[in-house]
Amino acid sequence: MTSRLHIDMAACSGHGLCADLLPELVATDEWGFPIVSGDAIAPSLLPLARRAVRTCPTLALRLLTAEEPEPYRAHRKAGHR
Amino acid sequence: MTAPSPLWYATRATGVMALLLLTAVVVLGVVGVARIDSPRWPRLFTADLHRNLSLLAVAFVGAHVLTTVLDTYAPIGWISAIVPFTSPYRTLWLSLGTIACDLLLAVVVTSLLRVRLGYRTWRSVHWLGYASWPVALWHGIGTGTDSKLPWLLAIDAACVAAVTAAVGWRLTMAQRRPGRLTAALACAGVPLATAAFVAVGPLQPGWARRAGTPVTLLAGTAAAAPAVTAPAAAPVPPAGGSFTGHAARASDGPGQVTITVTAQTLTPAQSLVITLRGAPDDGGLTMSSGTVSIGAAGAAAGYTGPVVLLRGHHLVADLRAAGGSAVRARITLVIRGAAATGVLSVSGGAR
Amino acid sequence: MTAPHPGRPRAASTGGHGRSAANPARLTAGWRHPGPASLREHLDIYGPLPRVSGRGRAGFLADAVGEAGLTGRGGAGFPTGTKLRAVAARRGPAVVVANGMEGEPASAKDHALLTRSPHLVLDGAVLAAEAVRADVVHVCLPRTKPGLAEQVRDAIADRERSGVPGAPVEVHDLPHHYVSSEETSLVRWLNGGDARPSGGLGRPFERGVRRRPTLIDNVETLAHIALIARYGPAWFRQAGLPDAPGTMLATVSGAVASPGVYEIAVGTPVADLLGWSRARPDVSAVLIGGYFGTWHALRDVAGLPLAAGGLRPVGASPGAGVVVALPEGACGLAETARVLAYLAGQSAGQCGPCAFGLPAIAEDFAELASGRPGGTVLERLDRRLGVLPGRGACRHPDGAARLAASALTAFAADVHLHARHRPCLAARRGQAGGDVLPIPRPGAEGEWE
């Protein structure tokens, strides 16, 4: 069962602790906010990923399993793909 | 009664350590939100340090509570560790400690369960942590028997300065957020209130009594066990009523006076003798020991016992008769010159 | 002009709007007259409100709409039948929300529809409510247009007096920020919160207003539902393309002599629309899809159908049917800079990349458009535009980034000139002329709650 990182960007305030813990998976933009790829997490990194979820000051980080769908972003503004 | 035991010293030591750790935890929590990040000190360190020190603080608070309860010097029971306003020793100031301990436990437990509880619940409880720090500080100042010692005053001042500086600095960088005004008021108010409290409280003589130290502990010397005269027959328990009599004040040594009140109640007719010994204090005295005797008029004293509480005009004594029955007498005593008046009430079954 | 059929809307002569059999007047049938069509006039033109339940199956309307191929007219183009079925499949009473917010400043179709044919929208809303077993309809309108709410309330009162059946309809005035028209913003506001998108994991069709399954449709979509219920899916498909059927309302503005709202068959070539609106001969670029859309050189899109599939090859989408014609004399970069500044100010401020990134690219674009950009501005833009999409609670930053990127492509020649510190001819002339794209007055929207 693969997991991937998901960040609730509205809860995120850019503390950057996740990027400190998981530089392999989380990059930061010039304003300090995280950029995650959404790819599956390597099993060796899972413990660190779980720690990152616990450490996030605003609990913005979640581990989603492969089955869980991407959180809903309203189609009103989905635009074209 | 015995002199302060090693446990008493341990209580004071663990208390001071807990305060220092709590101060560090609060400061780290406050400045941690700033995006201070250097290659040698990543944000993670601050977060982890905050967490670990808070657990250490809980350990020291636990030790503090344990040594306090185990120590028999002061009558503080287990219940007082969790429920405020149940301690006979410096009730108010000790209860602040109980409250601070409860708040701290709530903060730590919710933090350990944060992921399950959700952010909003965790956050609203975490704000209580801000309240627990000044409460713990004032508990220490109010309850500590050595609050006026210079080194302890210096520690208290340093803790206040550290937290005030941290909160003040954070306020300068915060945008408008709810609670900002409260924080600013607290930032100014807490140091001022603490300083004022210290000035009119521990630094003034007679603080121990005002703080609510039980009378039997006040001078730190043992109060002699009262001599109980064995009456021929089981005496009638005393009854309440108002009394009048006279009061005599005698000095029986440097810094030692004795006030003796001899009075009678009318219905039923009883004689009442109150003897208070101690250091003169502002027209009254700081009692080091006292006894109360109540008996039928003209007969030998039936019920006798020590004064366990003296506060202003109120006196509480636990009386026993030779037959073993015990009562508690509550006396309101007013002395004007040589005249003494007051009210006596008696309840069966002293504690 | 088609001959009127009994029970079918008469194709009205709309003078200059290019009416033909290919472009029937369906929603706009009663629009000759100014002001709202009264209930009487509405029933004269369209016939009575069909009783869906009278046909037996509760799924009848959803099936009909699905067969008709109607897609959402609010911009996202999601298949409406699918949406109806998804909400109807949930347990418990549902809620219908009619989205009349029209967040796009350059769009006027929802306002026109609500002021001219409110009963079409209300018919669609109560029919949809019946189809999804909703017991209430919420009509969400912008607070900045108080007259609109009043008109809709009058129409509702009219229906009640005349005994028109249907779920109770409530009208609400919401703050009119750009992102307030988004579905999750409406749900959040109706639940007592701010009119800001909610980034959480809740899906309105499962749990929306008062935790109930919620159907949110643009008012134009509901109007089409009202007609499909009357005349059937086959009739609906008589206009438009096989994979993009029906008609749509488009708002044309900019360098055109007859700006306004046009009802066109979906898939009408862009050039035809510009022709009917009498675009000026010097139009060189068009904005398609509004501020959530993209810029294109006219020659790249003129022959393309105004439909999702037809525009996809150039990376465009009809969106909410907004088409703005930019004349040669205006500077596309300067216009885009103004729009980006507006969009930056319209961020809900919930997510860092949007709250920080949008003002940053707006600044970069302003620098680029000013004619004296620093050497690194293009590199900065490139980097920033790459990290904005997909990193917000809603797609606001995605839209702004997409608009900016399309401007850099469509106006590449101007970018080339500006970068060399030579303001384009247009910018020089543009300073004398007016701004083309409408930007609402800042602060006019009111608060968020």
**H, E, C per residue of C373-399:** CCCCHHHHHHHHHHHCCCCCCCCHHHH
Q: Answer whether C158's CB lies under 8 Å from C426's CB.
A: no
Please tell me the CATH superfamily of domain C39-241, with its number: NADH-ubiquinone oxidoreductase 51kDa subunit (3.40.50.11540)
C351 touches chain A (CB under 8 A): yes
Q: For A3-68, CATH number?
A: 3.30.70.20
Least confident of A8-22, B312-326, C86-100, C215-229: B312-326
Dump pLDDT digits (tens) for C336-366: 999 999 999 999 999 999 999 999 999 999 9
Dump pLDDT digits (tens) for C205-219: 989 999 999 999 999
In this predicted structure, what is the pLDDT of residue C399? 96
A–C: how many Cβ contacts below 8 A? Answer: 100
Residues of A in contact with B35 (CB under 8 A): 14-16, 32
Confidence of residue B207 (pLDDT cuts 50, 70, 90): confident
pLDDT reading at A77 higher than 50: no
CA distances in angstroms from B113 to B11, B225, C371, listed in the order given:
30, 53, 56
Q: Which of C324, C236, C235, C311 is nearest to C269 (CA)?
A: C311
Which residues touch B229 (CB under 8 Å, ≥6 apart)? B300, B301, B304, B322
pLDDT reading at C242 higher than 50: yes
What is the overall mean pLDDT for chain C? Answer: 88
A interface toward C at CB cutoff 8 Å? 8-14, 29-33, 35, 71-80
Q: What is the distance between the alpha carbons of residues C416 and B59, in angstroms, rounded to a whole number?
A: 67
Count CA within 13 A, CB hemisphere, residue B188.
5
Of the partner residues A30, A33, A76, the one whose CB lies closest to the CB of residue C182: A76
Residues C349, C354, C359, C361: what is their CA dihedral angle, to the nearest 10 degrees? -170
Confidence of residue A75 (pLDDT cuts 50, 70, 90): very low
pLDDT reading at B185 higher than 70: yes
B43 touches chain A (CB under 8 A): yes
Q: Which helix (H) or strand (E) holds C357?
A: helix C352-369
Q: What is the distance between the alpha carbons of residues C285 and A47, in angstroms, rounded to a whole number?
A: 53
pLDDT reading at C280 higher than 90: yes
Contacts 24+ apart (CB under 8 A), B323-332: B323/B231, B323/B234, B323/B235, B325/B234, B325/B237, B326/B350, B327/B237, B327/B238, B327/B303, B329/B238, B329/B292, B329/B294, B329/B303, B329/B305, B331/B272, B331/B274, B331/B292
Amino acid at B350: A
In this predicted structure, what is the pLDDT of residue C149? 95
Q: Which helix (H) or strand (E) holds A3?
A: strand A3-7
In this predicted structure, what is the pLDDT of residue C419? 83
Tokens at B181, concatenated: 């005004």
The pTM (predicted TM-score) of the whole model is 0.75
**B16 or C1, which is more confident:** B16
How remote is the C-alpha of C217 from its chain's centroid? 11
User: B311-339 as b/e, with b when 16 or more CB fall inside 10 Å?
Assistant: eeeebbbbbbbbeeeebbbebebebeeee
Q: Which of B264, B348, B278 is nearest to B307 (CA)?
A: B278
Ordered strands of the C134-142 beta sheet:
C169-174, C134-142, C94-99, C214-218
Count CA within 13 A, CB hemisphere, residue B99.
20
- H-state helical runs in A10-72: 17-21, 46-55
Confidence of residue B203 (pLDDT cuts 50, 70, 90): confident
Locate the domains of chain C by residue range: 39-241, 244-327, 332-432
Residues of A in contact with B118 (CB under 8 A): 59
Q: What is the distance between the alpha carbons of residues C348 and B241, in angstroms, rounded to a whole number?
A: 75
Residues of C in contact with A72 (CB under 8 A): 184, 201-204
Confidence of residue C434 (pLDDT cuts 50, 70, 90): low
Q: Is the peptide bond before B235 cis (omega within 30 degrees of 0)?
A: no
Locate the domains of chain A by residue range: 3-68
User: C290-311 as b/e, with b when 16 or more CB fall inside 10 Å?
Assistant: bbbbbbbbbebbbebbbbbebb
Nearest CA in chain A to B32: A15
Which residues touch C39 (CB under 8 Å, ≥6 apart)? C119, C155, C158, C159, C162, C164
Q: Answer whether C83's CB lies under 8 Å from C215's CB.
A: yes
- Collapsing DSSP states into helix, strand and coil, what is residue C147? helix
- Quote the ipTM score: 0.85
The single-letter DSSP state of residue C52 is: S
CA distances in angstroms from B180 to A41, B167, B184, C311, C392, listed in the order given:
40, 10, 6, 51, 27
Which residues touch B228 (CB under 8 Å, ≥6 apart)? B304, B320, B321, B322
C193 touches chain A (CB under 8 A): no
Confidence of residue C16 (pLDDT cuts 50, 70, 90): very low
C319 touches chain A (CB under 8 A): yes
In this predicted structure, what is the pLDDT of residue C416? 86
- Locus of tokens 């930032």: B187
Q: For C244-327, CATH number?
A: 3.10.20.600
Confidence of residue B174 (pLDDT cuts 50, 70, 90): low
- Report the range out of A64-73, B134-143, B197-206 with the highest average pLDDT: B134-143
Q: Which of B226, B312, B316, B236 is nearest to B269 (CA)?
A: B236
Q: What is the distance between the alpha carbons of residues C190 and C213, in angstroms, rounded to a whole number?
A: 13
Q: Answer whether C307's CB lies under 8 Å from C247's CB.
A: no
Question: DSSP assignment of C3-30, as one string?
Answer: PPPTTS------SSS--BTTB--STTTT
Mean pLDDT of the A11-37 span: 91
pLDDT reading at B108 higher than 80: yes
Mean pLDDT of the B266-288 span: 83
In this predicted structure, what is the pLDDT of residue C1? 28
**C417 or B39, which is more confident:** C417
Any idea what the Cα angle at residue B155 is, between residues B149 and B161, rounded to 5°? 130
pLDDT reading at C141 higher than 60: yes
Percent of chain C exceeding pLDDT 70 equals 90
In this predicted structure, what is the pLDDT of residue B296? 77
Whether C contacts B, i.e. 3 or more CB pairs less than 8 A apart, is no
Q: What is the distance between the alpha carbons of residues B339 and C8, in angstroms, rounded to a whole number?
A: 112
**C59 or C394, which is more confident:** C394
Amino acid at C332: G
In this predicted structure, what is the pLDDT of residue C290? 96
Q: What is the distance between the alpha carbons of residues C293 and C105, in angstroms, rounded to a whole number?
A: 12
pLDDT reading at C256 higher than 80: yes
Any idea what the Cα angle at residue C103 is, between residues C79 and C365, rounded to 5°? 110
- Collapsing DSSP states into helix, strand and coil, what is residue C326? strand
C183 touches chain A (CB under 8 A): yes
Q: Answer whether B332's CB lies under 8 Å from B240's CB.
A: no
Q: Answer whether C306's CB lies under 8 Å from C292's CB.
A: no
Q: What is the distance between the alpha carbons of residues C28 and C116, in angstroms, rounded to a whole number?
A: 8
Question: DSSP assignment of C263-305, as one string?
Answer: EEETT-BHHHHHHHTTB-TTEEEEEESGGGSEEEEHHHHTTSB
Dump pLDDT digits (tens) for C375-393: 899 999 999 999 999 999 9
Tokens at C195, concatenated: 């009119």
- Collapsing DSSP states into helix, strand and coil, what is residue C70? coil
The single-letter DSSP state of residue A39 is: P
Q: Give percent helix, percent strand, percent coil of chain C, each to the nearest 5.
A: 45, 15, 40
- Locus of tokens 């009848």: C60
Least confident of A51-65, B212-226, B254-268, C158-172: B212-226
In this predicted structure, what is the pLDDT of residue C324? 96
B47 touches chain A (CB under 8 A): yes
Of the partner residues A29, A32, A77, the one whose CB lies closest to the CB of residue C182: A77
In this predicted structure, what is the pLDDT of residue B321? 83
C37: left (phi over 0), alpha (psi -120 to 50) or beta: beta
Mean pLDDT of the C170-192 span: 95
Q: Answer whether B97's CB lies under 8 Å from B89's CB.
A: no
B351 touches chain A (CB under 8 A): no
B120 touches chain A (CB under 8 A): no
In this predicted structure, what is the pLDDT of residue B216? 66
Mean pLDDT of the B204-222 span: 66
Residues of A in contact with C312 (CB under 8 A): 80
Of the partner residues B32, B44, B115, the one whose CB lies closest to the CB of residue A21: B44
Residues of B in contact with A59 (CB under 8 A): 114-115, 118-119, 122
May I ask the CATH class of domain C332-432?
mainly alpha
Q: Is C97 exposed, middle or buried (0-12, 13-18, 19+ CB in 10 A)?
A: buried
Mean pLDDT of the C219-243 span: 96
Q: Cβ–Cβ of A31/C356 closer than 8 Å?
A: yes
Q: Which of C305, C327, C353 is nearest to C425 (CA)?
A: C327
Locate the domains of chain B by residue range: 6-213, 216-348
In this predicted structure, what is the pLDDT of residue B256? 83
**H, E, C per residue of chain B:** CCCCCHHHHHHHHHHHHHHHHHHHHHHHHHHHCCCCCECCECHHHHHHHHHHHHHHHHHHHHHHHHHHHHCCCCCCCCHHHHCCCCCCCCHHHHHHHHHHHHHHHHHHHHHHCHHHHCHHHHHHHHHHHHHHHHHHHHHHHHHCCCCCCHHHHHHHHHHHHHHHHHHHHHHHHCCCCCCHHHHHHHHHHHHHHHHHHHHHCCCCCCHHHHHCCCHHHCCCCCCCCCCCCCCCCCCCCCCCEEEEEEEEEEECCCCCEEEEEEEEECCCCEEEEEEEEEEEECCEEEEEEEEEEEEECCCCCCEEEEEEEEECCEEEEEEECCCCCEEEEEEEEEEECCEEEEEEEEEECCC
C308 touches chain A (CB under 8 A): yes
In this predicted structure, what is the pLDDT of residue C265? 95
Tokens at B192, concatenated: 């001022």
